[in-house]
Each structure stands twice: as structure tokens, then as C-alpha cells.
Amino acid sequence: MGQDVLSVGLEGMKGHIVRVEANVRSDKDQFVIVGLPDASIKESKERVLSCLHALDVDLDMKKVTIHLSPADKRKTGTGYDAAMLVAVLREVMKEPIPFDASTCILASLSLDGRLESFHGLIPAIQQAVLLGFKRVLLPPVDVRVLGKALSAELIPLADVHQLLDCLRGQGVIAMDIPNVLVKEEESPDVSHQPDFASVRGHKEAKRALEIAAAGGHHVLMTGPPGCGKSMLADAFHTILPDLPNEEMLEVYSIYHLAKERRGFSSRPPYRSPHHSASAISLIGGGTYPKPGEISLAHRGVLFLDELGEFSRKTLDMLRQPMESGEVTISRVRQSVTYPSSFTLLAATNPCPCGYHGSNERYCTCTPQQVRAYQLKASGPLLDRLDFVLTLTSVGLKQEMPAETSEKVRIRTRQAQLLQKNRYNSPSLNGTVAGSVLLATCGLTERQNELLETVCFSKKWSNRTLVKLIRLARTISDLEGLEYITKASIEEAIHWKQVADLHQDAQRIHGTT
């Protein structure tokens, strides 16, 4: 008995080590796979038997039992084929097949012994590296692009012979391998977006969006039709910094699982689901669970345009993932978790006709209609939003000089680097755990007192207090400062007051 053959299983996007054991004994012919395999793994039996036949392995009057542990976790997909074959071969071949604990095998099999790719290969590779594997044995796919993003050695192998040679420490001949990855072609979600400089006026909103982009804070924009809400949202994507390699691969893996097309691009994702989208397409799930829009927006932007038109039930479902950065979908047989750390950008008209509070036209809605619309639009999410911006049509006079997205992106990139170094993780100020934020933010006693006094006088909750610290931290990070400044605290308070004005307006409508 030596080290078990190792592979990687996925529950949603979370990987776990799967140990593959085989037992071969004299008995009547039988081949059994245990350890909660799904139908596709049960079919592995035929592929493994056919490969054993191709290798001239005689299993007459033998009972083969394969155990996939941990036994209580469901296994899906065909990626364990090659690991199962190796486990059986180690039992029946005279020549030993060593296997060390830093190696794992991720490959499906063809009937004649070729290693094949399978759905979920990319996320499995990404998770294998996170689990600490140093060597990942793969089917022949071009992993050079992935290799750049990973610290482990990725070894593509053509067939079972090469796989055995590799395990026995013999060199493997380099081969021509097809590229299954979508190259860095322009992703559909990054093309044709307006530059920040092409949005005229809206100086305050642009400042808020820069802070939101730097720290991952959530924003709601309200205003009459045509004032530039959608344009600002599109331009927001262009001021987000590029993703580092590991995050780029993480995002790519989610798209791979969802069977959605995305280039191996360093631009953060930008998703703008229509308001008629179902809860499942937004949150994720289904009979065969797959990631929803909130996970496809991971490390990027989720833009909900016409927020008031979304169903309240759907919006309610966003609250938990917004707080935890991941979403867990419980099914009868298993629950799966997908990452969902996104920046929410929402836009809405102030009322059904769109002109409430506008100086362009009269609003034709009743106060009750206005209140119902505003509550639906922002009610479930209001306490999770950091910026509530009330926009008006500004005229198209350009303020000179208008900063381009490229210039703003230099600042947001710097600010994000500071945060990621401080937290030693991809977390940003908007979503990092409160305890970590408080332990590292560098707030002085006096600043703390100032914040507490303001919160007490304004009757703001502790949640608001922490939010103010998050915002102030980002504002200081944008200036490249190690400590939070008084000016950044004052600016954070200003943004909270601006958001309160919006809420007060809602309340007034409720009573008129």
C-alpha cells in the first residue's frame, strides 16, 4: 500500500481532494465504483475497462472495487477516469507505479486510452493549485496561458502510456497540442464602452464612482430619463483596474463552469442582466446547478439598470451574497457555493413616469406611486448601498480638462494594490470582514471619537459607522496614504448625508 491516487472534486467552485483507491481480488467478474458517484462516473466503468483491455490487462474472474473518498461527498463528471485507471493498474501491474502526494490527475478517458478534456477542467486546475498540488497531470490541452497564472507545474499528456511514463519519472515527449482556451480576444463585455472623459458634467457622481471602483463600494443612481445613468455605468467599467493573474483565472473558471464565453482577459467582468431575468439566472442554481449573473460578475460589476422593474423577491436574494461575497445554493442532493464578490451598480428613474423631481417636465405620478416605486427600487438594498446619487440632466458643457479612464485607472489600481497588500487577499475595503478592517485601518482614537459622536447625533447605526470607516479608508487609499485622514472621514460623512437626503425624500412622499 502506498499513497492513494489523487484527483480534485468540485462543489460549485470549491475544490476538495478526492482519493481514489482500487481493490482487485479473485471473485466472479465485477466492477463496482463506490463513494456517491453520479451517472457519468458510473459510466467510467466502461471507459476504464476498455482502456485496461487496450493495455492487455486481464481481469478474468476478478472483482474490481474503486472507492472515491471522502465517501459522503457526491462526485460528478468524468474527470476521475484516468485516476481510477491508474489506481487499478497499480494493483495489477508488476512494475510499480509510484504516486506522490503533491501530484493529482485530472482527465477523462477515451476507449483506446487517450486522455481527454472534460467540462470543469479549468476550475478543477485552479482549485488543485489552491489545494497545494505542485504537479497537475492533464489531457492534451494548451495550458501555456494558464501556466503563466499558476505556480504549479501543469503537464499535458496524450495517453495512458505517457501518463504512466510520467508517474514513473520518465521524460514525456513534447507534443503539438490544440488550444481549447479562448485567447485574449476582446471579450464581448469590454468593447464599445464610453471613456470616462466622454461623460460630461456629473462631477460629484464621477468622484463617487472613482471611490466605488477603488474600494468595491455599491452605488445607486437615480434620475430622469436621458440624464446619463446608463452612460455613467458603462464608463464605470473602464475605470476599474485590470485583474491580477490569479483573479483572471478565477473569473475564467466561473465562466467555464457556466458554459459562458469569455476571453482569457484581464478586464474585470461586466454583467447587466435584464430586469425580466429570473431569480435562478441572477443568483444561480437549476437542476444541474450553475453560476448565475452575480457569480459571472465576480471581481467585476453587476449593473442592474431600471432597478425598479426588477422583482422585489429577486432583489431580496441579492442581500446575502452582497454581504458574504459568495452564494450558496441548496439543492435536495447537495449544496454548492459560487464566489460572488461584485460591485453593484444600480440605476433607476425616481418614479414610474421618470420625471419626479425633474425641472424638465411635470411628474404625472401620484405620491403613492412614487413611494411604491422608490421603495421597490431601493428598499431591499438601501442599507447595503454606499452611494445614492441623485442625478439631473446637466447640459453637455464639458468641464476642462476631463480626465480619461486611463488616468483614473492609475489611481484605482494603486488604491486596490494598497488594499490587497494590507489584507493579504483579493479583498477590497467594501467587502473585507469588519474585524479585519477595524484591525488594520489605522484609525486614531480622536478619529474614532469624532465618528462616534457624529453617528450618535445623527442616530446612525454601528453598521453605518463601519461603512463610514470603509469609505474613509478607500478615500485615503486613493491618495496613497497609510493612515486615514480627517478630510477622508469628512468626505465619507458627506456621502452618507447625500444618501440620507434620498431616503428622507422617500419618507416625505410616504406622508404626503
Ligand X SMILES: Nc1ncnc2c1ncn2[C@@H]1O[C@H](COP(=O)(O)OP(=O)(O)OP(=O)(O)O)[C@@H](O)[C@H]1O
Q: Which of 28, 61, 42, 48 has its CA nearest to residue 88?
A: 48
The Cα–Cα gap between 57 and 91 comes to: 11
Q: Which is nearer to ligand X, 202 or 470 (CB)?
A: 202
The Cα–Cα gap between 102 and 288 comes to: 31
For the CB of residue 230, give the shortest distance to Mg ion in the complex, in Å: 3
Q: Applying CB under 6 A, which part among 73-81, 85-93, 227-235, 308-316 lies near ligand X?
A: 227-235
When CB distances are held under 5 to 8 angstroms depending on the partner's kind, the choice from ligand X, Mg ion, none that residue 53 binds is none
C-alpha cell at 378: 431601493
When CB distances are held under 5 to 8 angstroms depending on the partner's kind, the choice from Mg ion, ligand X, none that residue 98 binds is none
- For position 360 contacting ligand X by CB under 6 A, the verdict is no
- The answer to whether the beta carbons of residues 123 and 257 sit under 8 Å apart is yes
Q: Applying CB under 6 A, which part among 158-166, 220-228, 419-427, 458-466 lies near ligand X?
A: 220-228
For 290-353, the three-class secondary structure string (H helix, E strand, C coil) is EECHHHHCCCCEEEECCHHHCCHHHHHHCHHHHHHCEEEEECCCCEEEEECCCEEEEEECCCCC
User: Which residues, numbered 489-508, are part of the site for Mg ion (CB under 5 A)?
Assistant: none
* Residues near Mg ion (CB under 5 A), total: 1
- For position 393 contacting Mg ion by CB under 5 A, the verdict is no
Phi then psi for 230, rounded to 5 degrees?
Answer: -65, -35
User: Which residues, numbered 336-355, are part of the site for ligand X (CB under 6 A)?
Assistant: 347, 349
For the CB of residue 347, give the shortest distance to Mg ion in the complex, in Å: 6
Phi then psi for 62, rounded to 5 degrees?
Answer: -125, 140
Please identify the residue of the shown chain whose CB is closest to the bound ligand X. 228
The Cα–Cα gap between 389 and 330 comes to: 36
- For position 226 contacting ligand X by CB under 6 A, the verdict is yes
Q: Which is nearer to ligand X, 236 or 252 (CB)?
A: 236
Q: Applying CB under 5 A, which part among 32-40, 82-90, 145-153, 222-230 lies near Mg ion?
A: 222-230
Element holding 247 (H helix, E strand): helix 245-257
Quick one: which of 36, 155, 394, 466 contacts ligand X (CB under 6 A)?
394
Quick one: which of 39, 174, 396, 400 contacts ligand X (CB under 6 A)?
396
Range list of β-strands (E), 380-451: 387-390
Quick one: which of 62, 114, 202, 298 contacts ligand X (CB under 6 A)?
202
- For position 230 contacting Mg ion by CB under 5 A, the verdict is yes
Q: Which is nearer to ligand X, 149 or 239 (CB)?
A: 239
CB under 8 Å to 190, separation ≥6 — which residues?
A: 237, 265, 267, 270
Q: Applying CB under 6 A, which part among 195-203, 336-344, 400-408, 420-428 lies near ligand X?
A: 195-203
- CB neighbours of residue 103 within 10 Å: 21
The Cα–Cα gap between 63 and 409 comes to: 63
- For position 266 contacting Mg ion by CB under 5 A, the verdict is no
- The answer to whether the beta carbons of residues 409 and 468 sit under 8 Å apart is no
Bin 470: left if φ > 0, else alpha if -120 < ψ < 50, else beta.
alpha
For the CB of residue 236, give the shortest distance to ligand X in the complex, in Å: 12
- CB neighbours of residue 480 within 10 Å: 11
For the CB of residue 208, give the shortest distance to ligand X in the complex, in Å: 14
Largest Cα–Cα separation, the chain: 88
For the CB of residue 231, give the shortest distance to Mg ion in the complex, in Å: 8
* Residues near ligand X (CB under 6 A), total: 16
Quick one: which of 147, 188, 225, 442 contacts ligand X (CB under 6 A)?
225
When CB distances are held under 5 to 8 angstroms depending on the partner's kind, the choice from ligand X, Mg ion, none that residue 227 binds is ligand X
Q: Applying CB under 5 A, which part among 227-235, 252-260, 350-358, 455-463 lies near Mg ion?
A: 227-235
Q: Which of 418, 423, 445 has its CA nearest to residue 435?
A: 423
- The answer to whether the beta carbons of residues 203 and 232 sit under 8 Å apart is no
Q: Which is nearer to ligand X, 394 or 455 (CB)?
A: 394
Residues that bind Mg ion (CB under 5 A): 230
Residues that bind ligand X (CB under 6 A): 199-202, 223, 225-231, 347, 349, 394, 396
